[in-house]
Every structure is written in C-alpha cells, then in structure tokens.
C-alpha cells in the first residue's frame, strides 16, 4: 500500500536566522522523511504563504499546493498529515484533520500552548481512533538513542540525575521541550509525579506564545528517585545533557558524547553505544519511517502521542509552578493554564 502524506506549514525555502529564534522551515525536514519512505507519496502541501506552499510542493516531487489546511482537507484524501505550523495553531489544525477523517497525524513539538488544548486534542484523537504523534525526533538520534540502550543495559547503574541545559536565549517550550522529553526517555519513560520550577519572565513572546527568559525546572518520577533538571535561558550557551548514575556519568550533545564509568570500559562502551552520526536531520527520517511502519504492522513508536501529552503537561506545570511558587503534582488539577499571547 502507498500512503498519502500531506504537510501543513512549509516554512520558507531557506530557513531564517533571526534574533527571535523562529522560522526553521521544519516542514522540509518532514518532507525529507516522507521522501525517504518508498511506500509514501507526498500529495499536498498547505501554507498560508503561497510561495512557501509552492516551493515545498515542488521540493516534494510535484505535490499540490494549497493556501489553507481547510482547502487541502476538502480536496485531498490524506492518510498522514504533518502539522508543522507554529504551536498556537497545532490544536485547531489537529482537530480539523481528525474531523476531516485523517487518522495519522504527526504534530510538531510543543504539542499545544494550553492544557485545555492538550485535553481537546487527546479526547478527539481517542474518540476517532486517530493516532497522534508528537515529534520529539531526538529519541531516534545519536548519541541519545544509544544512551538509552546503555542505561537500560545497566552500565550506568541506577539513574540518579538527568540534567538538560539549553542556553543562547532559548526557552522551555521552543527547545527545552526536547530535554523534558529526553529526561523521561532516558529514565525508561516512567510516569512523572511532580514538577517544581522557577522562572524569570518578562512577557517575551516566541512562536506566538509567552516564553521565559530563564528557567530552572525540576521534576521527579512515580517509581524511582531519579531527579530531572532542565534549565534554559541567556546566561549559558550550548545545549546538552549530563547524566549521572551510581556507576558513572555521561555528557551528551549533538556533536559529542563523553562517558566515564567505574568499570573502566568507557571507551569500548562509548564506541558501542554512543557513536555520533553527523546529520542531526536523520532523526526526522527515522521517526517518520517508524510511524509509517507502525501503521503497516500495528506496532508502537518512540513518539506515541501519550509521550508528547506528558511532555507538554510537564511544561504547563512548570509555568504554573513558576507563577505561584508551589510544587505541582501530575496530572495537573488546575487545567486553566494557557501560554497563548494573543
């Protein structure tokens, strides 16, 4: 069977480099993923900017171009839809696609900008039997995928702490989302029970929603004592993870991985598990390949929607905690938090 894929939110043909850290044209990364699947055709692209829609349609091998998702959904039979617009549009687009009968949706992170949106997206997907994936593609990338296997194999002992940091002015929703997800991933996707955060927020807006200038977030898990820490902001630079276990430590980033373990076999283990592949876009290709094969064989993927829901709920809890200074338990009882800026 050949699956018919569509993408909403192409981005500009050349990704922008702007001071506000928006405009990465992530629609192209999704298109590369579908183009790498022999059993997928990209049939349509929608973008409110017609030139952007046309450019990605031609990059995708002659797909049809539309200037609205509504028009695309009215005209095309779509098996898989990628939602690559800004987070403030994710909920309405996912809901429209489900309503139109699309049953597989890959939504960019962060999934949504309010708890109410998460609830409505999950409820609609469950009611329709639709599969909603949230794109935390780093789970498929090295060195992170190997780090999970190394931890699962016990080489680091018990996991004590996972710390994700991102500087250079980045915020929790726009970048830190990956590290929230990664802290859970490296701790075997255990449930998260509590969240505590402090933030310095001055009303800055990115991607249409409020973001902090700096944040320090901690969270803990239901059935082990691992502590997750994520910090964001302008006071540091670079992005990476520090993983501390009872038998060793790791420092991971896109371009490097270092490992020190008590047993003294660090260099062998590093080679075996943490080899770095130079193309970070491979994660998109592997995530999409996994989704497509899971449709065919009914299996599950690393980025099932439930994982994205949890990540987004943790981030909402972080902002709620930073606002009132209290620990939040999950699921959040106050479901009114909303980061939308307009």
Ligand X SMILES: NC(=O)c1ccc[n+]([C@@H]2O[C@H](COP(=O)([O-])OP(=O)(O)OC[C@H]3O[C@@H](n4cnc5c(N)ncnc54)[C@H](O)[C@@H]3O)[C@@H](O)[C@H]2O)c1
One-letter-per-residue 3-state SS of the chain = CCEEEEEECCCCCCCCCCCCCCCCCHHHHHHHHHHCCCCEEEEEEECCCHHHHHHHHHHCCCCEEECCHHHHHHHCCCCEEEECCCHHHHHHHHHHHHHCCCCEEEEECCCCCEHHHHHHHHHHHHHHCCEEEEECHHHHCCCHHHHHHHHHCCCCCCEEEEEEEECCCECHHHHHHHHHHHHHHHCCCCCEEEEEEEEECCCCEECCEECCCEEEEEEEECCCCCEEEEEEECCCCCEEEEEEECCEEEEECCCCEEEEECCCCHHHHHHHHCCCCCCCCHHHHHHHHHHHHHHHHCCCCCCEHHHHHHHHHHHHHHHHHHHHCCCEECCCCCCCCECECC
Binding of ligand X by 49 (CB under 6 A): yes
**Least distance (Å) between residue 124 CB and ligand X:** 19
Specify the stretch interacting with ligand X by CB under 6 A; choose among 44-52, 163-171, 234-242, 306-314. 44-52
**Least distance (Å) between residue 132 CB and ligand X:** 14
Binding of ligand X by 135 (CB under 6 A): yes
Strand 328-329, strand 192-200: pairing: antiparallel
Nearer to ligand X, 86 or 194 (CB): 86
Q: Which two tokens stand for residue 108?
A: 């960019």
CB 188 within 8 A of CB 159: no
Binding of ligand X by 25 (CB under 6 A): yes
**Least distance (Å) between residue 305 CB and ligand X:** 15
**Least distance (Å) between residue 16 CB and ligand X:** 7
**Least distance (Å) between residue 148 CB and ligand X:** 18
Binding of ligand X by 10 (CB under 6 A): yes
Q: How many residues of this chain interact with ligand X, rule: CB under 6 A? A: 27
Measured CA to CA, the distance from residue 145 to residue 73 in angstroms comes to 35
Specify the stretch interacting with ligand X by CB under 6 A; choose among 82-90, 162-170, 271-279, 323-331. 82-90
**Least distance (Å) between residue 9 CB and ligand X:** 3
State which of residues 7, 43, 46, 261 lies at the interface with ligand X (CB under 6 A). Answer: 46
CB 10 within 8 A of CB 28: yes
**Least distance (Å) between residue 182 CB and ligand X:** 12
Binding of ligand X by 69 (CB under 6 A): yes
Nearer to ligand X, 90 or 155 (CB): 90
Binding of ligand X by 100 (CB under 6 A): no
Q: Residue 246: which of 157, 129, 323, 175 has the closest Cα? A: 157
**Least distance (Å) between residue 139 CB and ligand X:** 11
The pattern of x and - marking residues 209 through 248 that bind ligand X according to CB under 6 A reads: ----------------------------------------
Binding of ligand X by 87 (CB under 6 A): yes
Binding of ligand X by 123 (CB under 6 A): no
Binding of ligand X by 312 (CB under 6 A): no
Specify the stretch interacting with ligand X by CB under 6 A; choose among 40-48, 140-148, 258-266, 268-276. 40-48
Nearer to ligand X, 261 or 314 (CB): 314
Binding of ligand X by 26 (CB under 6 A): yes
State which of residues 9, 233, 245, 308 lies at the interface with ligand X (CB under 6 A). Answer: 9
**Least distance (Å) between residue 220 CB and ligand X:** 26
Measured CA to CA, the distance from residue 88 to residue 226 in angstroms comes to 32
Adjacent-strand bridge partners of 199: 215
Residues near ligand X (CB under 6 A):
8-11, 22-26, 46-49, 52, 68-69, 84-87, 89, 108-109, 135, 137, 174, 207
């Amino acid at each position: 069977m050949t699956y018919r894929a569509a993408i909403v939110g192409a981005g500009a043909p050349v990704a922008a480099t702007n001071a506000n850290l928006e405009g990465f044209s992530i629609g192209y990364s999704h298109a590369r993923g579908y183009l790498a699947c022999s059993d997928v055709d990209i049939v349509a692209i929608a973008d409110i900017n017609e030139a952007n829609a046309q450019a990605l349609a031609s990059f995708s091998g002659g797909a049809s171009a539309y200037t609205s998702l509504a028009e695309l959904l009215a005209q095309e039979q779509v098996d898989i839809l990628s939602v690559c617009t800004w987070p403030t549009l994710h909920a309405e687009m996912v809901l429209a696609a489900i309503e139109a009968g699309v049953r597989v949706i890959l939504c960019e992170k962060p999934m949504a900008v309010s708890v109410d949106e998460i609830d409505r997206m999950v409820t609609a997907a469950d009611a329709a039997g639709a599969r909603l994936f949230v794109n935390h593609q780093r789970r498929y990338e090295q060195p992170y995928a190997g780090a999970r296997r190394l931890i699962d194999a016990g080489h680091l002992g018990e996991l004590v702490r996972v710390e994700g940091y991102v500087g250079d002015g980045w915020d929790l929703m726009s970048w830190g989302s990956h590290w929230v997800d990664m802290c859970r991933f490296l701790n075997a996707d255990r449930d998260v029970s509590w969240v505590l955060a402090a933030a310095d927020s001055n009303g800055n807006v990115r991607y249409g929603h409020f973001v902090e200038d700096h944040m320090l977030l901690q969270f803990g898990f239901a059935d082990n004592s691992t502590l997750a820490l994520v910090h964001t902001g302008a006071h540091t630079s670079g992005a990476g993870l520090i993983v501390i276990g009872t038998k060793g430590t790791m420092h991971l980033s896109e371009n490097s991985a270092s490992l020190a373990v008590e047993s003294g076999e660090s260099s062998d283990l590093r080679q075996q598990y943490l080899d770095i592949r130079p193309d970070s876009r491979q994660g998109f290709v592997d995530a999409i390949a996994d989704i497509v094969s899971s449709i065919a064989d009914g299996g599950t993927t690393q980025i099932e929607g439930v994982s994205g829901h949890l990540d987004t709920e943790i981030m909402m809890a972080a902002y709620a905690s930073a606002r009132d200074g209290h620990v939040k338990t999950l699921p959040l009882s106050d479901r009114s938090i909303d980061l939308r800026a307009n």
